[in-house]
Amino acid sequence: MSNPTHVTVCDGKYTVIYDFDTGQSECLRYGEPWRDLCGDKMVLALFDEIVELREKVEQLERAIKGTEKYAINDPEEYKP
C-alpha cells in the first residue's frame, strides 16, 4: 500500500491531511483549515481504509481494462 499524505472526499469539499512523520492530522474544508484531528484514531483508521479501497478499485479497473479485448460485443455470436 502506498502512503499518501492526504485524502480528499465529497467532490473536494474535505481534505484530510496526515503527516506520517509526526502523526499529526488535520482537516481542510474547501481548502481552508477546518478541524484539528490530533489524537483522533478513528479518522486515521478511516483514512487508511479509504486508501486501501481506492487502491483495490484501481487494481480492479486495470484488470477490467486488460480483459476488455476479450469482451463479447454481440452475445448472439457466441450461442452454442
**Domain boundaries, given as residue ranges, for the chain:** 6-69
How many percent of the chain have pLDDT more than 90?
A: 34
Q: Is the pTM of this model over 0.95?
A: no
In this prediction, residue 2 carries a pLDDT of 57
Higher pLDDT, 27 or 67: 27
In this prediction, residue 11 carries a pLDDT of 95
Residue 52 and residue 58: Cα distance in Å, rounded?
A: 10
Average pLDDT, stretch 32-37?
90
In this prediction, residue 23 carries a pLDDT of 79
75 — pLDDT class (breaks 50, 70, 90): low
Q: 35 by DSSP, 3-state: which?
A: strand
